Amino acid sequence: MNLSRSQFLLTLAGAAVGFGTQFTSRDEERRDTEPRGPMIDFHVHLFGVGDGGTGCLMSAEQKSRLNFRFFRRLLNLSENGRMDQDYLDFLVAQLRSSSVQKAVLLAQDSRYDAQGRPDYERTSFYVPNDYLFDVSKRFPSLFIPCVSINPKRRDAIDELNRCAERGARVLKIHPPIQNVDPGEARFRPFYRRCAETGIIVMVHTGTEHAAEIVGDNYSDPLRLVTALEEGCTVVAAHTGTAAFFDKESFFPHMISMLERFPKLYYDTSIMASMFRWRTLPRLLEMPEVLARAIHASDFPFPSNAMVHWNRLSPVTMLSLASESNLLERDYRLKQAIGLPRDVFERGARLLRL
């Protein structure tokens, strides 16, 4: 049977109303899950290609990747000599028009050689701490600086002290991109100093597909034991999860680690994407694990409401799918799926805001 355009739209509207009645009580319940204090997005990327004197770097190999072209279209960016500023302008506009009050903004350190010297030739992308501090100073009401220090660098502790003096609250390590094993015993003094300064240590865990990596072995949450034993508060970015097509997930290791270490948390970044759609429903069945979750988006990586069609009313799904604000979409999608209020409040509590 062939339907006219008007008949199709009427049919779709009827289906939305009909199916939506099954979700009414659940949607009403979620209206009561708004955070009672400031909401922090704990995982937002600062990017750049190096124009405008930012000091950023992006390799030719990274620019040739599909995701770079995808983000240029998604964020309406072009290599016009001011891409770094255009990206920042887009981020600031999105943050100001979202329900998120502040974002933990991430720098990205380079790879280092065996002597602890920068290895820019093998670095996919680099966002210097000084650029991060410059941006955070320009927008103090919006951004919380998360510096990036590869513990392999020979001046790692000196850089840590410098960043602490400049107001760093969080520190990010990305093992597979930065080619560093965070569990090495030689990094204990570095982690001890992190604990002494009160800087939260965020470490990428789980598989990585957005940049060139040395493998995923360093992404196992078990590699976080060294930092935790030195007294650090640690946030495992991405919860050790994998995309649906990956052969291995470190999520079970993450669960065992949460049982052992009370100062270990994890963020929900990228969990509402089309590639990790299985994670959030699993977490909803584990309330004791949700007690350590922190809201995070992984901006600019977009969430996708369509892959959660079986947990959303058609009206909600279509509304989220059409939401152009990536920060707001990620938050509202996770809220609609059923993440409790505490998840959206925990980041502010951890930062003592």
> What is the arithmetic mean of pLDDT over 244-267?
95
> What is the arithmetic mean of pLDDT over 87-115?
98
Greatest Cα pair distance, the chain, in angstroms, is 72
Q: What gap in Å lies between CA 251 and CA 232, rounded to an integer?
A: 21
Q: Are 101 and 26 in contact (CB under 8 A)?
A: no
- Closest by CA to 108, choosing from 237, 234, 8, 7, is 237
Instruction: Say whether pLDDT at 280 is over 80.
Output: yes
Q: What gap in Å lies between CA 208 and CA 211, rounded to an integer?
A: 7
> What is the arithmetic mean of pLDDT over 186-215?
96
Query: What is the pLDDT at residue 32?
Result: 67
> What is the arithmetic mean of pLDDT over 192-206?
98
Query: What is the pLDDT at residue 22?
Result: 40
Enter the pTM of the model. 0.91
Angle, in degrees to the nearest 10, between helices 188-197 and 156-165: 10
Instruction: Say whether pLDDT at 211 is over 50.
Output: yes
CATH node for 38-350: 3.20.20.140
Domain boundaries, the chain: 38-350
Q: Locate 97 and state its tokens.
A: 């028009």
Instruction: Say whether pLDDT at 24 is over 50.
Output: no
Q: pLDDT per residue over 122-148, tens digit each?
A: 999 999 999 999 999 999 999 999 999
Query: What is the pLDDT at residue 233?
Result: 98
Confidence of residue 37 (pLDDT cuts 50, 70, 90): confident
Q: pLDDT per residue over 156-175, tens digit each?
A: 999 999 999 999 999 999 99
pLDDT, averaged across the chain: 91
Q: Mean pLDDT check: name the lowest of 31-40, 207-216, 329-338, 342-351.
A: 31-40
Amino acid at 117: R
